[in-house]
C-alpha cells in the first residue's frame, strides 16, 4: 500500500485526487492522506514516510514553494518524490518549485489519466 500526502487547500480537489488515486486502479493500492494547508502538511510530515507528496503552490501562509524547500531540507523526506499540481498561469512559480527539488508537475485542471501518468512516473515500478 503506497501512501500519498496530498497538500491542497481545496477540499473538492483533494476529494478528486483521492478518487483518482485510490479507486482509479492505475496506480495499484494507494492511500491518500490529505493536508488542507502548508501547516497541515508540516503536521503530517513527521507521520511519514510517504511514497509521494503532491502539492499545490498557491496556498495561504506557508506556500507550496516553502513547503518544497522544507521537505527537501528534511532528512526524512529529501528523497520522496514530489509532484507539483498548479495552474499553468503560475508558470514561474512552477519553475521555482522544480528548481527547489520537485520532480514533476501536473497542470490543473488535470484529467484522471494525466494525473495517474505523472504519479506513476514517480514510482519505482510504475503501474506495478
Partner 1 sequence: MPDNSGGGRGDSSVEKAREDFLSEAQELVDGLSRDLLLVDQQTRRGESDPHIVNDIFRAVHTLKGLAGLFGAVRMAAVSHELEELLDDLRLGRIELGVKVVDLLFRGVELYGELLLAEKGHAPEPTQAVEEFLFSLGAVTHQGAPGAGGQVAQYEIDSSILGVLTEYEEHRLRTNMKADVALYRIRVQLALTTIDSALDDLKAAARPHGEIITYLPTGSGSDADRIELEILMASHAELETLRGAFRGLDVVVEAVKKRGGGGSRSSQVDATPAPSVPLAPAAAPAQPPQDELDEAVVTPWPSEVAALSPKPVHTPPPAERGSVSPALTVPPPFPGVVHPEAAPGAQNRDLSLRSVSQTVRVDIRKLDNLMNIVGELAMVRAALGRITERARGDARLRGFGSELHRLQRSFERHLTQMQNGILEVRMVPLGQVFEKLARVVRQISREHDKEVNLVITGAETEIDKLIVEELSDPLMHMIRNAIDHGIESREERSLVGKPAAGTVALNAFQKGNHVLIEVEDDGMGMSPEVLTETAIKRGILKREEAEELTTREIFNLVFVPGFTTRETATDFSGRGVGMDVVKTNIAKLGGVVDITSEVGIGTKITITLPITLAIISVLGVEVHGRSFAIPLASVEEAIVLDEALVRSYDGREALTQRGMTLPICRLARLFELEAPPLSDVGARRPSKPCVVIASVGNRRLGLVVDRLIGQQDIVIKALGPSLRSVRGFAGATELGDQRVGLVIDVAALMDEVMASEKERIGVVEGARAR
Q: By CB under 8 A, what part of segment 18-47 binds partner 1?
A: 18-20, 22-26, 34-36, 38-40, 42-44, 46-47
Residue 78 found at the interface with partner 1 (CB under 8 A): yes
CB of 73 to partner 1, least distance (A): 4
Residue 126 found at the interface with partner 1 (CB under 8 A): no
Among 10, 51, 53, 124, binds partner 1 (CB under 8 A): 10
Question: Which helix (H) or strand (E) is 104 found in, with range?
Answer: strand 104-108
Q: Which residues of 3-23 are buried (b: 16+ CB within 10 A; e: fewer)?
A: ebbbbbbeeebbebbbebbee
Residue 127 found at the interface with partner 1 (CB under 8 A): no
**DSSP letter string over 4-51?**
EEEE-S-HHHHHHHHHHHHHSSTT-SEEEEEESSHHHHHHHGGG---S
CB of 28 to partner 1, least distance (A): 13
Residue 114 found at the interface with partner 1 (CB under 8 A): yes
Residue 89 found at the interface with partner 1 (CB under 8 A): yes
Helix (H, G, I), strand (E, B) or coil at 64: helix
Amino acid at each position: 500500500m503506497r501512501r500519498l500526502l496530498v497538500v491542497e487547500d481545496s477540499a473538492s480537489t483533494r476529494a478528486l485526487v483521492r478518487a483518482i488515486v485510490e479507486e482509479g486502479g492505475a496506480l495499484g493500492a494507494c492511500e491518500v492522506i490529505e493536508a488542507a494547508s502548508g501547516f497541515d502538511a508540516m503536521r503530517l510530515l513527521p507521520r511519514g514516510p510517504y511514497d509521494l507528496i503532491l502539492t499545490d503552490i498557491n496556498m495561504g501562509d506557508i506556500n507550496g514553494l516553502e513547503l518544497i524547500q522544507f521537505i527537501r531540507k528534511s532528512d526524512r523526506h529529501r528523497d520522496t518524490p514530489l509532484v507539483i499540481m498548479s495552474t499553468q498561469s503560475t508558470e514561474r512559480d512552477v519553475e521555482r518549485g522544480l528548481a527547489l527539488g520537485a520532480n514533476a508537475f501536473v497542470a490543473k485542471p488535470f484529467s484522471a489519466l494525466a494525473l495517474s501518468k505523472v504519479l506513476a512516473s514517480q514510482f519505482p515500478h510504475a503501474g506495478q
